[in-house]
Amino acid sequence: MEEEDAAADPYLPYDGGGDTIPLQEIPKRGSNYAMSNGGGAPSSTTHLLDFLEEPIPGVGTYDDFHTIDWVREKCKDRERHRKINSKKKESAWEFTKSLYDAWCSGRPDRHRRRLDERPEGGRVSERHVVQPRAVLLDVQRDHLRRAGQVPSVEELGRADPGAGGGPRLVHHELLHVHLLGSVVRLPRRLSGQGVRPIKTILSGFIIRGYLGKWTLMIKTITLVLAVASGLSLGKEGPLVHVACCCGNIFSYLFPKYSKNEAKKREVLSAASAAGVSVAFGAPIGGVLFSLEEVSYYFPLKTLWRSFFAALVAAFVLRSINPFGNSRLVLFYVEYHTPWYLFELIPFILLGVFGGLWGAFFIRANIAWCRRRKSTRFGKYPVLEVILVAAITAVVAFPNPYTRQNTSELIKELFTDCGPLESSQLCQYRSQMNGSKSFSDNPNRPAGPGVYAAMWQLCLALIFKIIMTIFTFGLKVPSGLFIPSMAIGAIAGRIVGIAMEQLAYYHHDWFLFKEWCEVGADCITPGLYAMVGAAACLGGVTRMTVSLVVIVFELTGGLEYIVPLMAAVMTSKWVGDAFGREGIYEAHIRLNGYPFLDAKEEFTHTTLAREVMRPRRSDPPLAVLTQDDLTVEELQATINETSYNGFPVIVSKESQRLVGFALRRDITIAIENARRKQEGIMLNSRVYFTQHAPTLPADSPRPLKLRSILDMSPFTVTDHTPMEIVVDIFRKLGLRQCLVTHNGRLLGIITKKDILRHMAQMANQDPESIMFN
């Protein structure tokens, strides 16, 4: 029955007798596994203690700046579910608790909770202090590094060749350094984030305190100020961030979500849908935005929940009725004429413009942000904001189209000229004569007002384009939807008016002759503005379906689905021709977040063994053997290395893999054993097997660590193409994967190894990954 392994193990029999097939272990979690314990093996009742043992508190949690393991988190949640379901029959009280859990809160897992309340004696206070401090970390790190106080990521990286992640000591050092007089800088550097870090967090990265109450308060206040300032920015990014803060804070009320990082991310996905829903009153667009753009792991269950969150958000928004009418729709339009087939040509041209603008904007904005990051200029963010605001104010004021609120500008551009419209854009000559009503004379030669408006719109277009490039990425909360839509709407309206005049003066052209009756009004400039807005937004974000839905919900223009779709598709194609990244991905890469993009395909032919650690010149892989280490040796291994986890093997000779143990879990388990178990000495034997190894009579009590051993580590062979490995990491959300060759352990691949490798393949600096 012993499972430990000799190198020259005899042939593992499959011939039905099967005594040595290790099937006799009783599954840990009380399954309905009913195989008889035959085969003459000694009964395992002596080991029944094993699964009565309490779980070790703290095992299975994460350090800051680490990546979560989706598979493990989801398992934990299902485990919790099962526990509640099996207990629910015991008493009415447990049944009530199960209902409470189902009603989206959840029964606290006592053991886990205990960890957080009094982890290792007296650290409670520290935890509460660390959290707000940790906010500063991201914010302050590059700041301090420039001042030479903190080791750069490259230096950290060198200390950490295998499994990624910051070493603990350095990390605490950092926290300490950061505390020195940096609280006042918090609001200044925390700003200007929005959708991008949310994407990173949703992909499984842990940034503690980034979605906390301080962020919520500061973001809320500054967003109001920023939008009111008249800068060329929108509000959807900050609102998504604010919604995620709310989601995160609410999730702390329900241990089911706060204790499980994967479940928490489901809440955040729904929150981001609600954020877009309130930003534009577009609930379905919000859900699709969350699906297409923000989220990483989006099961159908999350789709329904996001839908519900967006519904409630839209409902509350409607009850408050902020726009003072009973409509949810922000820019409601109603056009009186249908569109004609030949108009697809200008619509597609608008799509081309949108794509070009998007590609240009992304390049220019990223270049500017890189300059800001890499030069001394970035040290004066407040000055920069003041400067940009001042320039915006001075330049924007003279032109009526830049002076007014951007939302109102878009509304005006979208609106068709009716008889009651007093806008400058509607000063056609027929109206100026005054003798006839509008509907009697649909011929619309442009009047001087329209000509003036055209010039002003052209100037406004140039102004908006330039200012948006410099504004997005400023240290203020800033979104992109409204400025992008404004640019598109201006361009679209210009094209629309041009088309209209063309049709008026050349109504005998074959195109117009066929579609436009003489004397009839056949071009709607407002529709062009709407199409242009969608195209420009599509060029910048590269969204498709969610974008069209958002535009629907904004305008109610359901009849114009084909023009919108055509323009958005064109815009995406043109934009993708100049670079596949949307603005959010580009900024994530600029900031060096460890984000494994689900959209980008990995097309290189490298194999797993070329990416795995250890490399040729590296020291050997740090492994643990399953039953012949002492506590002292184990601690030495942990102290000498900085890896986040260690593979456990049968023996050094066979190199056959048994499982994987996380550094954090081992440390916690040893500390816990020292406190609670008597007789654990430095020379105690550590074993990961089911049964204790046979020891000499005088040896101290051995320490069993099987409960922290992950007995189902993911493995791939060394011949596995990296494209498959990347796919597995993406779809399953892995943290690491072990590499074997012919059943022997060869190395390890972590998520950060993959990101480094991908950067290398794309000829980027691999060290730019991870918080630079």
Which secondary structure element, helix H or strand E, spans residue 97, and what is its range? helix 92-102
| CA 583/CA 592 separation, integer angstroms | 14
Residue 430 or 715 having the CB closest to a second copy: 715
186, 352, 732, 759: which one binds a second copy (CB under 8 A): 732
For a second copy, the binding residue among 48, 159, 386, 561 (CB under 8 A) is 561
Q: Is 102 in the site for a second copy (CB under 8 A)?
A: no
Q: Is 553 in the site for a second copy (CB under 8 A)?
A: yes
CB of 263 to a second copy, least distance (A): 13
Minimum CB distance to a second copy smaller for 71 or for 681: 71
CB of 710 to a second copy, least distance (A): 9
Restricting to residues 354-413, which ones interact with a second copy according to CB under 8 A?
Answer: none
Contact 713, 660 (CB under 8 A): yes
Instruction: Identify the residue whose tokens are 């598979």.
Output: 71
Residues 496 and 526: beta-carbon distance below 8 Å: yes
Using the CB atoms, write b or e for 237-261: b if 16+ within 10 Å: bbbbbbbbbbbbeebeebbbbbbbb
Q: Does 715 bind a second copy (CB under 8 A)?
A: yes
Residue 2 contacts a second copy per CB under 8 A: no
Whose Cβ is closer to a second copy: residue 299's or residue 398's? Answer: 299
Told to check if 713 binds a second copy by CB under 8 A, we report yes
What's the alpha-carbon Rg for the chain, to the nearest Å? 31
Q: What b/e string do you get for 279-302 counting C-beta neighbours within 10 Å, with b at 16 or more?
A: bbbbbbbbbbbbbbbbbbbbeeeb
243/396 with CB nearer a second copy: 243
Judging by DSSP bridges, how do beta strands 657-662 and 645-649 pair with one another?
Answer: antiparallel
* Nearest CB to a second copy, comparing residues 21 and 124: 21
CA nearest 363: which of 589, 548, 595, 596?
589
Is residue 428 within 8 Å of 444, Cβ to Cβ? Answer: yes
| Residue 323 beta carbon to a second copy: minimum distance, rounded to whole angstroms | 13
Q: Does 89 engage in binding with a second copy (CB under 8 A)?
A: no
Binding window for a second copy (CB under 8 A); candidates: 56-64, 94-102, 369-377, 558-566: 558-566
Q: Quick one: DSSP state of residue 234?
A: B
Tell whether residue 578 is a contact of a second copy (CB under 8 A).
no
Is residue 120 part of the contact set for a second copy (CB under 8 A)?
A: no
Tell me how far, at minimum, the Cβ of 325 lies from a second copy, in Å: 9
Q: Does 236 bind a second copy (CB under 8 A)?
A: no
- Compute the least distance from the CB of residue 1 to a second copy, in Å: 14
Q: Which residue in the set 2, 7, 408, 509 belongs to the binding site for a second copy (CB under 8 A)?
A: 7
Q: With contact defined as beta carbons under 8 Å apart, do 469 and 362 qualify?
A: no
With respect to a second copy, which residue has the nearer C-beta, 426 or 583?
A: 583
For residues 168 and 176, give the distance between their C-alpha atoms in angstroms, rounded to a whole number.
12
Distance of CA 369 to the CA centre of its chain: 20
> Is the separation of the CB atoms in 61 and 114 below 8 Å?
no
Tell me the closest approach of the beta carbon of residue 572 to a second copy, in angstroms. Answer: 7
Question: Strand, coil or helix: what is 484?
Answer: helix
> For a second copy, which is the closer residue by CB, 126 or 765?
765
Nearest to a second copy of 328, 469 (CB atom): 328
Regarding 616 and contact with a second copy (CB under 8 A), the answer is yes
Shortest separation between residue 306's beta carbon and a second copy, angstroms: 8
Contacts of 741 (CB under 8 A, 6+ apart): 609, 717, 718, 719
Are 591 and 616 spatial neighbours (Cβ–Cβ below 8 Å)? no
DSSP string, 98-160: HHHHHTT-----HHHHHHHHSTTTT-HHHHHHHHHHHHHHHHHHHHHHHTT-S--HHHHHHT-
149 makes contact with a second copy (CB under 8 A): no
Give me the amino acid identity at 700. P
Least separation, in Å, of the C-beta of 78 and a second copy?
6
Cα separation, 735 vs 733, whole angstroms: 7
Q: For a second copy, which is the closer residue by CB, 12 or 184?
A: 12
Q: Which stretch binds a second copy (CB under 8 A): 92-100, 384-392, 401-409, 717-725?
A: 717-725
Asked if 712 interacts with a second copy (CB under 8 A), we say: yes
- How far apart are CB 254 and a second copy at their closest, in Å? 19
DSSP letter string, 350-396: HHHHHHHHHHHHHHHHHHHHHHHHHSGGGG-HHHHHHHHHHHHHHHH
Under the binding rule (CB under 8 A), the answer on residue 11 touching a second copy is yes
Q: How far is the CB of 765 from a second copy (least distance, A)?
A: 18
Residues 284-343 that bind a second copy (CB under 8 A): 284, 287-288, 292, 299-301, 303-304, 307-308, 310-311, 314-315, 318-319, 326-329, 338, 341
From the list 382-390, 556-564, 631-639, 764-772, the region that binds a second copy by CB under 8 A is 556-564
CB of residue 51 to a second copy, shortest distance in Å = 12
> What six digits make up the tokens of 202?
């949703």
Report, in Å, the least distance between residue 14 CB and a second copy: 3
- Residue pair 430/443 in contact (Cβ under 8 Å)? The answer is yes
Using CB under 8 A as the binding rule, whether residue 675 contacts a second copy is answered as no
Distance of CA 444 to the CA centre of its chain: 50
Residues 6+ apart with CB under 8 A from 603: 723
Q: Shortest distance, CB of residue 405 to a second copy, whole angstroms?
A: 24
Shortest Å distance, C-beta 595 to a second copy: 15
201 binds a second copy (CB under 8 A): no
- Cα–Cα separations (whole angstroms), residue 335 to 346, 415, 417, 556, 715: 18, 8, 9, 10, 60
Minimum CB separation of residue 655 from a second copy in Å reads 5
Nearer to a second copy, 310 or 356 (CB): 310
**Minimum distance, C-beta of residue 30 to a second copy, in the bound complex (Å):** 7
The Cα–Cα gap between 755 and 726 comes to: 9
**Contact string 450-489 vs a second copy (x = CB under 8 A):** ----------------------------------------
Q: Give the number of other Cβ atoms within 10 Å of residue 687's Cβ.
A: 21
- Return the residues of window 740-769 that contact a second copy according to CB under 8 A: 740-746
Contact 26, 44 (CB under 8 A): yes
Element (H, E) at 749: strand 744-750
Complex with a second copy: residue 376 or 616, whichever CB lies closer: 616
Which residue's CB is nearer to a second copy, number 134 or number 586? 586
Q: Draw the binding track, 156-185, toward a second copy (x: CB under 8 A; -: no contact).
A: ------------------------------
Residue 603 phi, psi (nearest 5): -120, 15
Verify cis geometry, omega within 30 degrees of 0, for the bond prior to 614: yes
Task: List the one residue from 441, 718, 759, 768 that touches a second copy (CB under 8 A).
Answer: 718
**Which residues have a Cβ under 8 Å from the Cβ of 630 and sit 6 or more positions away?**
682, 683, 684, 685, 686
| Closest-CA residue to 525 (of 498, 496, 499, 558) | 496
Nearest CB to a second copy, comparing residues 75 and 452: 75
- Residues in the interface with a second copy (CB under 8 A) total 118
- Candidates 30, 42, 418, 448; binder of a second copy (CB under 8 A) is 30
Site string (639-658) toward a second copy, x via CB under 8 A: -----------x-xxxxxxx
* Residue 71 touching a second copy (CB under 8 A): yes
Query: Is residue 45 a contact residue for a second copy (CB under 8 A)?
Result: no
The answer to whether 68 and 733 have CB atoms below 8 angstroms apart is: yes
Q: DSSP letters of 457-475?
A: HHHHHHHHHHHHHHHTTSS
